[in-house]
């Protein structure tokens, strides 16, 4: 039997990518129900080539639903995912509401697919986009070398902050194009004024060392997510992880520099073999030919791209990497769809 799917949050930016992916992947679903807030109900969206009307989020939309993908704010997921699960749907949730709960698996199909089978609350969580933009490559190296420590800096695209993030960057870019702004202290800030949108500082012609909200001792919520989620996905609850999250003027695709330390000595040759053959990873690493991943080339693609693979100069058990992943595809919609497809296979098995 082909399972029935609900897409909750179908009108959002990740929802839009989800509908594209559902139209591109093998068509394993029976009915697909598109669900959003009452404000968006009645809109028509195309999925699998068919115009489908968006319905408002109510309890009854989950009647007969086997799998429900959620891409909604944390508080909406916290309220509605348990309702969907109580009606018998398996929920694949892309919010932070359940990710760290012990009885909710946090799944990346290339790394820990088995975890999706144990879901006592009927909820499977999808990681944050920054974690997802690197974890497939890290998981492949961990499986071979045994990870001991991670030190990570992110270069995060504005679409991680939703449509408002993209609109803010575009508006700021049109303000600064053709000017000499960015050449004296404070000139950019004066030109942008209060129009910083979801960011604490101007993001055009700038880098902003902040993503998310303030947590204890100066850490950001985004930095804590990368640490906590990486530990949970890799099954390494004590892994030392140091993260600095930075927003850059890129529309879509998060990048990260990674220093990874392993149990014993590593070689670049073996690391490259692993990365070149790991499912979901592309090794693109020939600096002599000017080849390394950048967001401009990676955006719109599915894999995790890795370049600049070097052995740490002062530690033969360490590797340095530059990693890029489309934050709306693998970072959100694609991983959600992959988890949902794993669960759908249980219905058709
Ligand atoms: C960001 N990772 O890029 C966040 C969104 N979940 O802001």
CA dist 132 and 64 (Å) reads 31
User: What is the band of 11 on the pLDDT scale with cuts at 50, 70, 90?
Assistant: very high
Closest Cα to atom 1, ligand 1: which residue?
160
Write the pLDDT tens digit of every residue in 53-85: 999 999 999 999 999 999 999 999 999 999 999
CA separation for the pair 98, 104 (Å, rounded): 6
Which one of 12, 13, 157, 161 would you pick to mutate in the ligand 1 pocket, going by the greatest count of ligand atoms within 8 A of its CB?
Answer: 161
7: nearest Cα among 287, 20, 206: 20
Decide: 322 and 293 in contact? Cβ < 8 Å.
Answer: yes
> Ligand 1 atom closest to Cα of 157?
3
Using the mean position of ligand 1's atoms as its centre, give its distance from the Cα of residue 333 in Å. Answer: 13
Binding positions for phosphate: 99
Compute, in angstroms, the gap from residue 153 CA to the centroid of ligand 1.
14
128 C-alpha to ligand 1 centroid (Å)? 7
Q: How far apart are the C-alpha atoms of 13 and 126, rounded to whole Å?
A: 16
Phi, psi of 43 (to 5 degrees): -65, 150
pLDDT digits (tens, 9 = 90+) for 29-40: 999 999 999 999
Atom of ligand 1 minimally distant from the CA of 327: 3
Write out pLDDT tens, residues 309-341. Answer: 999 999 999 999 999 999 999 999 999 999 999
Q: Whose CA is nearest to atom 5 of ligand 1?
A: 160
- Choice from 72, 73, 128 to test ligand 1 binding pocket (greatest atom count within 8 A of CB): 128
Query: What's the CA gap between 306 and 325, in Å, rounded?
Result: 9
Q: Can you tell me the distance from the alpha carbon of 190 to that of 211, in angstroms, rounded to the nearest whole number? A: 22
Token pair for 24: 């591109």
Catalytic positions, please? 129, 254
Report yes or no: 163 and 198 within 8 Å, Cβ to Cβ: no
**And the tokens for 126?**
């999808």
Phi, psi of 96, rounded to the nearest 5 degrees: -90, 5
Strand, helix or coil for residue 20:
helix
pLDDT at 96: 97
Q: What ipTM score was computed for the predicted complex, to two decimals? A: 0.95
The first and second tokens of residue 105, run together, are 């698996």
Cα 249 to middle of ligand 1, angstroms: 14
152: which residues sit within 8 A by CB, 6+ positions away? 134, 226, 241, 242, 243, 244, 256, 257, 258, 259
| Residue 90 contacts residue 62 (beta carbons within 8 Å) | no
89 closest CA partner among 5, 27, 22: 5
- The C-alpha atoms of residue 250 and residue 339 are separated, in whole angstroms, by 27
The answer to whether 97 touches 104, Cβ cutoff 8 Å, is no
Which ligand 1 atom lies nearest to the CA of residue 254? 3
Angle at 337 between CA 198 and CA 228, to 5 degrees: 55
Give distance in angstroms: CA of 162 to centre of ligand 1.
8
pLDDT, residue 82, reads 98
Q: Is 118 exposed, middle or buried (0-12, 13-18, 19+ CB in 10 A)?
A: exposed
* Percent of residues, the chain, with pLDDT higher than 90: 98
Alpha helices in the chain (DSSP H): 13-24, 74-86, 129-145, 162-176, 187-192, 221-234, 268-277, 295-298, 334-348
Ligand 1 pocket, residues with Cβ under 6 angstroms: 128-130, 156, 160-161, 211, 222
Residues placed in the known binding site: 11-14, 39-40, 99, 156, 159-160, 247, 327
Ligand 1 atom, smallest distance to 159 CA: 3
**Mean of per-residue pLDDT scores for the chain:** 97
> What does the alpha-carbon distance between residue 23 and residue 38 come to, in Å, rounded to a whole number?
25
- Give backbone dihedrals phi and psi of 233, rounded to 5 degrees, phi first: -65, -40
Provide the token pair at 286.
Answer: 């020939």
CA 235, CA 232: separation in Å to the nearest integer?
A: 5
Ligand 1 pocket, mutate which of 229, 327, 330 (most atoms under 8 A from CB): 327
Give percent of the chain above pLDDT 70.
Answer: 100
Indicate whether 348 pLDDT > 90.
Answer: no
- Name the residue with the closest Cα to ligand 1, atom 3: 160
């Amino acid at each position: 039997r082909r399972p029935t799917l609900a897409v909750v949050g179908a009108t959002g930016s990740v929802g839009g990518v989800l509908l594209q992916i559902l139209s591109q992947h093998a068509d394993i679903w029976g009915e697909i129900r598109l669900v959003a807030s009452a404000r968006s109900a009645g809109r028509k969206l195309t999925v699998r080539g068919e115009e489908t009307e968006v319905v408002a989020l109510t309890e009854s939309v989950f009647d007969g639903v086997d799998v429900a993908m959620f891409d909604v704010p944390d508080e909406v997921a916290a309220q509605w995912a348990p309702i969907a699960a109580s009606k018998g749907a398996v929920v694949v949730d892309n919010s932070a509401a359940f990710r760290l709960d012990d009885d909710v698996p946090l799944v990346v199909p290339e790394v820990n697919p088995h975890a999706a089978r144990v879901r006592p609350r009927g909820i499977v969580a999808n990681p944050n986009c920054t974690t997802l933009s690197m974890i497939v490559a890290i998981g492949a190296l961990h499986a071979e070398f045994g990870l001991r420590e991670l030190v990570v800096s992110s270069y995060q695209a504005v679409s991680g902050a939703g449509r408002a993030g993209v609109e803010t960057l575009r508006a700021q870019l049109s303000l600064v194009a053709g000017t000499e702004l960015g050449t004296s202290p404070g000139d950019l800030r004066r030109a942008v004024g209060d129009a910083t949108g979801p960011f604490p500082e101007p993001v055009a012609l700038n880098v902003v060392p902040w993503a998310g909200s303030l947590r204890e001792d100066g850490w950001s919520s985004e930095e804590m997510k990368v640490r906590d989620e990486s530990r949970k996905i890799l099954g390494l609850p004590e892994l030392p992880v140091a993260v600095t999250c930075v927003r850059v003027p890129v529309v879509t695709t998060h990048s990260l520099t990674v220093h990874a330390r392993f149990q014993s000595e590593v070689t670049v040759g073996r690391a490259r073999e692993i990365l070149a053959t790991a499912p979901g990873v592309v090794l693109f690493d020939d600096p002599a030919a000017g080849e390394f991943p950048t967001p401009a080339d990676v955006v719109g693609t599915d894999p995790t791209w890795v370049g600049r693979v070097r052995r740490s100069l002062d530690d033969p058990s360490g590797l340095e990497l530059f990693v890029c992943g489309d934050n709306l595809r693998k970072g959100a919609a694609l991983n959600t769809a992959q988890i949902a497809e794993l669960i759908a296979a249980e219905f058709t098995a």
